[in-house]
Amino acid sequence: MTVTEFLSIAKESKYNILDIYKQAPNETLILVGVVLLIVLVVYFSIRRSMKISSAVKLVDKIQDSKSYDEYNQRITALVDELPKRGLKVADVLNASKDHILFRTSKLLANMSISDKIDKYLEVSQKYKELANASIKYKNQELTEFYDTKSKELLEVNLNEEIAYYYQDTYFTAEEVVNVNRIVQYANTQEDPSLILTPMINTINQFSYGYNLELFKFIEALDEKESKQVYTNCNEKIEELLTSGESEVSINILDYLLEKEENQKVYDYISSLKITSYLQQLHDLYFNKKEDINLDLAFIANLTKIDSDYKNYLDVSLTSNWRDSEYIEFISKAPGVLEVLGHMEYRTLIERMDNISIENENKRMVEEALTIAKRAESIALEAKSLNKKPIITPSIPSN
């Protein structure tokens, strides 16, 4: 059937599909198929056009994001859409790439360094995905931009953010979370020292002996989380407290005493070799804290300062002359022999021996009295039993 004949049948049937189909079924099916195909092509073309338009708008929306979460949601959608929507979206993205990068920097600017590390890693990954998604369009400028920036965001921008952080931060206990995150990130890099060594050097510029906030920061560090920073700082504190060559502020010493970490203070004072500072601490602490161990820490230090340790020991021993445990404790303390001299020290030992003998004699007397009292009690009890009449039971008569 020719097209003219088919059109004539359609006209005669007043374009009734059923009548046309009865007279020309094959031609009708072909026509319906063609129409459907055209409709589908038009539909999908419009749909594709709408999606391309939506993807183009998405590029614009990324630049207008008000928050990082909004930005991340949109750029994640773009990563998914870019390889599907054709060259137009790639061209629009290429034209907007610098504006999007600038918006990224603005949204990250006011975050903590911990959040910045997380977000920079996230953005870097998204940029890498955009670079891969754009390869099919052979837009070298676009692909190279996102491939390069995905690396620069970490190797340049993030490293600069970290450097700015530790150069402009007072290391207090509140900063431990941020420092731990930097350590964690640095240890994922090929050479962690590129980040950690400058940060540790910056920390070391602070006064370990006079900065109480830094001291508390170091206390809050955790060996597993803080790693290299923990090791460095604790080695510095250990050296500070034991070398005898450094001043530790009164604020830090008071802080340790308040925390009942007294032994650290005792060890520090007993080993301190700086005469002027030892004198200052002596004037502040010696015989003023009702802490015999603190006083003995000064006596243990053989550095010569203006002090009257002998008079202190004489008064202390005289006041506790009958307390053998106290006298023994004092006698064994470092430096006491040097202060008292051999003669008085020998007298002290003799006194301990005499007290020991007196206590032993006293114990023996008390034991003898106890035995005597017990014997007396037994004798009285026996005597009482002897005085009781013997009662013979009567025999009943038959």
pLDDT tens-digit map of 150-195? 999 999 999 999 999 999 999 999 999 999 999 999 999 999 999 9
Alpha-carbon span 74 to 78, nearest angstrom: 6
Length of the chain in residues, anyone?
398
What angle, rounded to 10 degrees, do the helices at 309-319 and 336-386 form? 0
Residue 382 and residue 375: Cα distance in Å, rounded? 11
Pick from 100-109, 149-158, 344-353: least confident: 344-353
Confidence label for 39 from pLDDT (cuts 50, 70 and 90): very low
Backbone angles phi, psi at 396, to 5 degrees: -65, 140
DSSP state of 156: I
* pLDDT bucket at 37, cuts 50 / 70 / 90: very low
Query: Of the given ranges (47-51, 158-162, 228-232), which has the lowest mean pLDDT?
Result: 47-51
The gap from C-alpha 88 to its chain's centroid, in whole angstroms, comes to 48
Do residues 216 and 176 lie in contact, with contact meaning Cβ atoms separated by under 8 Å?
no
Measured CA to CA, the distance from residue 277 to residue 271 in angstroms comes to: 12
Question: Are 269 and 297 in contact, with CB atoms under 8 Å apart?
Answer: yes
Distance CA 51, CA 319 (A): 96
- What average pLDDT does the segment 298-325 reach? 88
Report which residue type is found at 330: I
CA pair distance 200, 211, nearest whole angstrom: 16
The first and second tokens of residue 187, run together, are 């240890």
- pLDDT category at 398 given cuts 50, 70, 90 is very low
Q: How far is CA 16 from CA 39, 202, 228, in A?
A: 20, 89, 87
Q: Model confidence over 199-224: pLDDT tens digits?
A: 999 999 999 999 999 999 999 999 99
Q: Is the pLDDT of residue 35 over 50?
A: no
pLDDT of residue 326: 85
- How far is C-alpha 256 from the geometric centre of its chain's CA atoms? 21
Three-state helix/strand/coil letters over 41-66: HHHHHHHHHHHHHHHHHHHHHHHCCC
Reference 357, options 392, 311, 324; nearest CA is 324
- Predicted model pTM: 0.74
- The mean pLDDT value of the chain amounts to 81
- Report the candidate in 231, 268, 230 with the shortest Cα–Cα distance to residue 246: 268
